[in-house]
Amino acid sequence: MSSAMPGRRSLSGARVMLYAVLCVFAVIYLTPLYVMLTTSFKSLEEIHQGNMLALPEQWTVTPWLDAWSGACIGLECNGVHGYFFNSISIVVPAVLISGLLGAFNGYVLTKWRFRGHKIVFGLILFSCFIPFQIVLLPMARVLGILQVANSTTGLVLVHVVYGIGFTTLFFRNFYESFPNELVRAAQLDGAGFFTLFFRILLPSSIPIIVVTVIWQFTNVWNDFLFGVSFSSGDSAPITVALNNLVNSSTGVKAYNVNMAAAMIAAVPTLIVYVLAGKYFLRGLMSGSVKG
């Protein structure tokens, strides 16, 4: 009994040390977010005092209103509200279309296999490793031919094309572990191609759907390179508008407005991860073991 006590104490001490180290890293990681949030509620006069870590002496939501509407008094700035809704109009169809096409691809590559399906999957998988910069010029040419350049429609097409590789990979791995016996039984009952997909596989794909939505939403919402390359003016997403806002001020920099705009741009991603983040790893692991 006494010999077990030192081991328990050492184990408890190691756990305390581990938690202490994790808390230190969490503080370091969250400090920029804390500075952004507190600065967005400060006036410029208070910011110029130089104490970034201090809480606001007088809380104000004026920087948030200015960042949203662009009504900065005495400063040159543009609101992000229109570009915020641009990003929504890009994210929603891009996630839905790329997710549905990826589900169809994964379904065909696992349950309706054809000659050369491994080569097709290999080519689709190869697209996941193509750097963004390589496709800029050919994609710009394609958008020009289709006459959807500098538009939200063009950005939707870009993100759908670039996201199909990842969504196909997710659904293909998930459907690989789906029992073939259920598919054969449904076929014996007269179920066809679309019935099998919409009535059997898709309702069972909630874990991987969550993974796909989080992955695609994060990539599309946070994208800057495609947004700045294939959009301009009123069709730009919020990431481009945020960059323009930060660089548009001349003379006095509206740091509080810039921080508020950055928080507005980050809120949707934070909400997605807070609400569905715990299902992300669970969904990734759900198709890792074939049973």
**Full DSSP string of 13-78:** HHHHHHHHHHHHHHHHHHHHHHHHHHHTTS-HHHHTT--TTSPPSS---HHHHHHHH---TTS---
What pLDDT score does 75 carry?
42
* The pLDDT value given to residue 69: 83
Place of tokens 């997909």: 197
Distance CA 202, CA 210 (A): 12
pLDDT along the chain (291 residues), means of 10: 54 83 93 92 87 87 87 56 92 95 93 88 89 89 92 94 93 89 86 88 89 92 92 88 76 82 90 78 60 40
pLDDT confidence of residue 245: 80
Q: What is the pLDDT of residue 73?
A: 43
Tell me the domains of the chain and their CATH numbers. 4-69 (no CATH), 81-286 (1.10.3720.10)
pLDDT at 76: 46
pLDDT at residue 117, as a whole number: 87
> What integer pLDDT is reported at residue 190 of this predicted model?
83
Q: 116, 182 in Cβ contact below 8 A? A: no
Q: Are 197 and 107 in contact (CB under 8 A)?
A: yes
The confidence score (pLDDT) of residue 53 equals 85
**CA 15 vs CA 2, 3, 7: distances in Å:** 21, 19, 12
